[in-house]
Structure 1
């Protein structure tokens, strides 16, 4: 077993600290291993790029998840376009899952690094927006939040190491869009919807926990339009050489890999828990051609450094 994987397998009772309180992020300065870049697409341009037609073309339609579990309003869809490409070409449109997470300024989204950074083009994505509680192409009830600052670990952005496949995105205040269609053209009018955390709250953040935790995983698998969930106990995963990943935790779940949160201590009454992972790699462990597990990088002190650097940033209203 690789040394990093061995270290994870033996860290089953490490002391965890719930870093959801604002004081834990106060006064943070960015450490050297944080890759922080401002979005290149102007915020309002990114919001208005995602017309109802484009959203439906990306996601299609599907029934919502069963209501055995109350779905969290913090979780939603991320939409973006590949950098240095023609954004009008649907072949360059992508989407992922993400969640609002607690921060000093209530403006932070957690997802996978591969949902913010293109390792082929060595650039962060364009037209990046977050839509909490997205459902079937409808106007998101809590507004649309455009990226201001991407925060990732240099281990992913520089060396493509999926043990660092997590990212935290500071977003502008949200906007609600009133769309009108004339012929084939859409026109949108925007109004301020306020801060993300004020509208949907945020999940707590924790790290250095046991690798064996009971969690709920939420997301929009296979790029679908409806939120789904899985639940189960995580365990250390074997090395995934394709992704240079040796410190992943996974659970039985047929999700595709796309940034959705792993939440421990999730309570349906409050729809909150603690973020302990994000969907990073999908696994076919029995070789039947179908994904049956989803894994996340193990959240450790390196993860906390990126979170802390992001959790203290202020973004403000769309300029």
Structure 2
């Protein structure tokens, strides 16, 4: 069975390899959900420009992965005692510049973090760039630079928790090697802000699930209308392409530029839930089902997470 290719990256969300994809699946038309602009000013620079210089991002990808095993990590740790600023303050804006000076905005979320660390989950194309070419080939652009996370971002308002520089990142090896869309997952390590606060101490750290059931009720979050607002939707996941067992999707969820990397939570009840997906793409034109897609959290995903947590 031939391999189909999805071409593209941050300028229009991923385009990459779907191994053994059934020919009938029109995956090449999955729409972009990351936002790319000319400068890193999420809100015209108002209150968002960080006051700390980001160091060089240390990026990596896992090698051989561990034996298959169902894993559920951590009990979600609620943090904020005050009224939340958004529907989920653990979700926020992640942004940075690529080697060509273009700025990319995506959604990211805080997950279970070992003591002294702050760990985020997002889509791989939000942190490591492949550039589409006119002839259908892809060019490696590489890791973003000067990457920052703004939890509970609200357009037109100052960041309620601060701005946190990203110093470390890991992407799935399939994304690093050739931009495979079935490996569009990354975990990030965040440094404290200028007041020496850790983001993991300020908002809820949600748990993670790996090798969970392909069919689960989930609630997804992401920035909508090019960062204008945080929105959410719910649905039941299933395998997008049964022959692959590497991509899951659910229907009836509208996404737009900036939604990439948004978390999918199983058993979500506000301050409780387990991350088992992130939005990588969605909404085929004229598709009445409005599908959104995520890389399945398997052993490779677990090893990618461990690459950041040490």
TM-score by length of 2: 0.67
> Is contact 1:5–1:238 with CA below 8 Å preserved after alignment?
yes
Equivalent residue for 1:109, pick from 106, 109, 120: 120
Q: Deviation per CA, 1:117-165: give whole Å up to 9, x if none.
A: 1112431112211100001131111111111011112210111111111
Equivalent residue for 1:138, pick from 151, 154, 157: 157
TM-score by length of 1: 0.65
Gaps of 5+ in 2: 4-18, 23-39, 49-85, 132-139
> Is contact 1:5–1:246 with CA below 8 Å preserved after alignment?
no
Secondary structure of 1:304 counterpart = helix
CA–CA distance in 2 between the matches of 1:303 and 1:239? Answer: 19
Question: CA-atom RMSD, angstroms?
Answer: 2.8
Q: Deviation per CA, 1:144-188: give whole Å up to 9, x if none.
A: 11110111122101111111111011011023xxxxxxxxxxxxx
Which has the greater radius of gyration? 1
Gaps of 5+ in 1: 7-48, 58-69, 87-91, 176-191, 313-319
1:233 aligns with 2:236: yes
1:154 aligns with 2:169: no
> Is contact 1:122–1:157 with CA below 8 Å preserved after alignment?
no
- Give the corresponding residue for 1:221: 224
Q: Residues 193 and 297 from structure 1, CA distance in 2 versus in 1: closer, same or farther, beyond 3 angstroms?
A: same
Q: Residues 217 and 55 from structure 1, CA distance in 2 versus in 1: closer, same or farther, beyond 3 angstroms?
A: farther
Secondary structure of 1:302 counterpart = helix
- Give the corresponding residue for 2:275: 275
Q: Residues 170 and 301 from structure 1, CA distance in 2 versus in 1: closer, same or farther, beyond 3 angstroms?
A: same
> Is contact 1:248–1:298 with CA below 8 Å preserved after alignment?
yes
- Give the corresponding residue for 1:198: 201
How much has 1:52 moved relative to structure 2? 4.6
Q: Provide runs of 4+ in structure 1 moved above 3 Å.
A: 1-6, 49-52, 54-57
The structure with more helix, counted as a fraction of residues: 1
Aligned residues: 228
1:211 aligns with 2:214: yes
CA–CA distance in 1 between the matches of 2:248 and 2:287? Answer: 21
